[in-house]
Structure 1
């Protein structure tokens, strides 16, 4: 086996899809007996929608969810104010998706699981990892049922309490974002319209929200409870909470489908790679849910790692390419942790700062900008959409290959288009498989050297080093 992925959440499933479409032999294992049943990470940012477009699941994701409603503020049983959840961002050719999409996490995972199966991948449920050892050639994983599996690489996508991270001895550095306990639940509720996210402020900063979950008949309940309160996750406890904070009676809650409590925390793993084991998603970084960054940052981890693992396993790139995963994603996750904490504390507005379209890798060792006077799109930036000779760029980028804009130079494994859109500025642009500009120049001078270092050009003739 090439890759063992521990955890069948959005991170593990996204990585599984990316590897499956490259023909990499990978298996996803999950401790639970089924997919996660709750709505927890319900916001899909525009950059994640672009990733899902590339992976062939965006249409199904859109069918499973819908747009965010405006918030409706209530006091003493009266509607007292309405406000949008996000600052409006106008779509354009370069950024066709600018509005966050609401999809209950369990529905997102169903769509990803179906796509993984369509590509020939699978999830082995009921596999709890209990230990692992690694050597120069791979990783051996042990499970509670006595089985062992051997893989060339292992990816920990097993959540904030990651068993793999603990086994590897990787610490997490962080802080408590809010001392108050929080509760989230999926419920069926009578007496509220489904056109608004209903918010009921309470005393001393406590509050309760009921958000209609697009694509379902449920509401997601979110509550910030007074400091020192012990959350009651039972159906009776949820009914009492709704009656205490809203004008609705206890009988308005007709069903409790899932519930969980937490205390918002921001934490970052000290390392994202230990030999042949790599950390991704919540196993590597834990966010406050405010601003909808956690799941989305996790999907970006998988998308960054997938093409790099594929290149190394196929002998197209040296194993050192995987070092750029930690270099790029740990810095990115640290920035997203600061952003999530800022949104939680009311210091950052939801909108341009939270859609993740401005994130990039300009400082990465894998990024090379050779133009003395770069235009609006620089090496390291997200490659915007656009049209060249009637071809949509996102269609040209789709798939785990590199794309060269601005020349017809024939390069194995690279799709070339004769020009870049005017919005890019002047130059030649090499787009990585994950949709970021890896190299940019006024001409193609220096391109071959970059391709060899990044895993193309002469790299395909090198023996495999994985």
Structure 2
């Protein structure tokens, strides 16, 4: 019998690691297990979208992730006759102060997970590899987990269980939760390889004529290329270096491209599926256990990381004494997002089949919001158009000491944040940071960005959730309403 924990996370990929980091920095007792005996070594998810970059900034790993990866290269699209045209991946023009990250970052999944593991170790935890969940028993006050370990079968009592164990989730299957959707009629290969014959500053995409399309993309931060191509729906696929070299020649008509070695490879059928529900009592689903997407648009890993980011602070709050109803908002907020993303990824797949690789601004995930969430306090939208449930914009300001300040720096951490325009009538509260913005105050809006983005009246305030979304707006006379809201969604001691 292992020592009991408050949360057991089943699956130590990017989703499980994100949740573990969020719980670790909040002082939650948890265990993170992974049935694989070693970390994942492939590049299945290689794109980090701007909203996920903001999440990684809050978790303290963005600069490390950026250093380990790089920008997406220009796409070079080859016609069967050898001619080509170049195309940028995104049409987004310039960053804005409200949205400091505006381009997707390319980093192979194995490198993203390595950075996440490093951060988790700094916080005093590490994933346990070679540990498999084989059964669960609902105990009323939590879950008894039966684990297969190298030392034999063990049991672990946990208050909550989180299934971050992928599209074939054992946790989901034990709950009997349906996973409806469809197989999209596309089977593909992906392989991380060492090859020569192609420039590393371009993403090479070949039409292939009757042989079908083939993509060869340099993987930022490595000496590898990633090969992607559709294959027949049935039959074994040879993914050796020699076979991949032959496949490239078939698709490109070129014999000067040679694959020397294969670091990782896989063949898979594309699916679009969404779990009927994300929770069953003390058990939750996150990431691919709750939704699977075609890879087009780079949405799967990003949606999964943001699932974990949404759930983490809520689990910690309830464990600290917040009402259990807070956990009901996880599915209410994240399942509609996954449904929308599934639709977007499927539409992009249709475009990809037609030769269109451009990505609309929706893939950035900056416009995701929770307007209909129980956590979004009904109130009048600001003149700027912001409303409860929106992502809180960043802004550049200046502290009273003369140093540059960013709103994202004020949000960073595990707390709620109250931004007040001018003198504050709001009382301090544990777990909430109050920042007064105005001439002669703690922070000066010397560029006018805060006023432009938030449009608060004199003495009014906006409450920002721990995950960077707006909870509600409050006038200077609404202190009682603010206290009532926080009493519903935070622990009583706060």
How does the TM-score come out when normalised to structure 2?
Answer: 0.89
The equivalent of 2:172 in structure 1 is: 165
Q: Is the 8 A contact 1:31 1:125 kept in 2?
A: yes
Counterparts of 2:158 and 2:47 in 1: how far apart (Å)? 33
Matched, 1:74 2:78: yes
Matched, 1:387 2:401: no
Q: Is the 8 A contact 1:371 1:441 kept in 2?
A: no
Moved more, 111-120 or 134-143: 134-143
1:144 aligned counterpart, secondary structure: strand
Counterparts of 1:237 and 1:134 in 2: how far apart (Å)? 49
1:368 aligned counterpart, secondary structure: coil
The equivalent of 1:450 in structure 2 is: 485
Moved more, 69-78 or 323-332: 69-78
* 1:346-385 → structure 2 map (5 Å cutoff): 346=351, 349-371=358-380, 375-385=384-394
Matched, 1:141 2:145: yes
Counterparts of 2:301 and 2:287 in 1: how far apart (Å)? 7
The equivalent of 1:396 in structure 2 is: 410
Q: Is the 8 A contact 1:312 1:319 kept in 2?
A: yes
Q: Is the 8 A contact 2:138 2:144 kept in 1?
A: yes
The equivalent of 2:327 in structure 1 is: 322
Structure 1 stretches lacking a partner, 5+ long? 462-466
Q: Is the 8 A contact 2:80 2:207 kept in 1?
A: no
Deviation string, structure 1 residues 210-249 (Cα, Å, up to 9, x no partner): 0000000000111023555643333333232122112443
The equivalent of 1:267 in structure 2 is: 273
* 1:66-465 → structure 2 map (5 Å cutoff): 66-76=70-80, 78-145=82-149, 146-177=153-184, 179-203=185-209, 206-226=212-232, 228=234, 230-249=236-255, 252-315=258-321, 317-346=322-351, 349-371=358-380, 375-390=384-399, 391-406=405-420, 408=424, 409=426, 410-419=428-437, 420-426=450-456, 427-443=460-476, 445=478, 446-455=481-490, 459-460=492-493
* 1:3-14 → structure 2 map (5 Å cutoff): 3-14=7-18
Q: Is the 8 A contact 2:430 2:493 kept in 1?
A: no
Structure 2 stretches lacking a partner, 5+ long? 400-404, 438-449
1:88 aligned counterpart, secondary structure: coil
Could you say if the C-alpha distance between residues 453 and 383 of structure 1 is closer, same or farther in structure 2, counting changes exceeding 3 Å? same
Deviation string, structure 1 residues 100-155 (Cα, Å, up to 9, x no partner): 00000000000000000000011110011111112221111112231121111111
Q: Is the 8 A contact 2:242 2:259 kept in 1?
A: no
Q: Is the 8 A contact 1:5 1:27 kept in 2?
A: yes
Counterparts of 1:256 and 1:77 in 2: how far apart (Å)? 29
What is the RMSD of the two structures over their aligned residues, measured on CA atoms? 1.8
Higher Rg: 2
2:348 aligned counterpart, secondary structure: helix
Q: Is the 8 A contact 1:181 1:231 kept in 2?
A: no
Q: Is the 8 A contact 2:382 2:455 kept in 1?
A: no
How many residue pairs align between the two structures?
457
Deviation string, structure 1 residues 413-443 (Cα, Å, up to 9, x no partner): 1111123542112252100000000112334
Deviation string, structure 1 residues 266-300 (Cα, Å, up to 9, x no partner): 10001101111100000000001000000000000
TM-superposed deviation, 1:373: 6.1
Could you say if the C-alpha distance between residues 216 and 138 of structure 1 is closer, same or farther in structure 2, counting changes exceeding 3 Å? same
Could you say if the C-alpha distance between residues 353 and 373 of structure 1 is closer, same or farther in structure 2, counting changes exceeding 3 Å? closer
Moved more, 191-200 or 167-176: 167-176
Q: Is the 8 A contact 1:386 1:421 kept in 2?
A: no
TM-superposed deviation, 1:185: 0.7
Counterparts of 1:444 and 1:60 in 2: how far apart (Å)? 44
Q: Is the 8 A contact 1:239 1:250 kept in 2?
A: no
Counterparts of 1:229 and 1:86 in 2: how far apart (Å)? 36
TM-superposed deviation, 1:191: 0.6
Could you say if the C-alpha distance between residues 108 and 444 of structure 1 is closer, same or farther in structure 2, counting changes exceeding 3 Å? farther
Moved more, 77-86 or 56-65: 77-86
How does the TM-score come out when normalised to structure 1?
Answer: 0.94
Counterparts of 1:230 and 1:203 in 2: how far apart (Å)? 23
1:78 aligned counterpart, secondary structure: coil
Counterparts of 1:32 and 1:249 in 2: how far apart (Å)? 38
Counterparts of 1:322 and 1:383 in 2: how far apart (Å)? 21
Counterparts of 2:379 and 2:247 in 1: how far apart (Å)? 59
1:345 aligned counterpart, secondary structure: helix
Q: Is the 8 A contact 1:430 1:440 kept in 2?
A: yes
Counterparts of 1:106 and 1:406 in 2: how far apart (Å)? 42
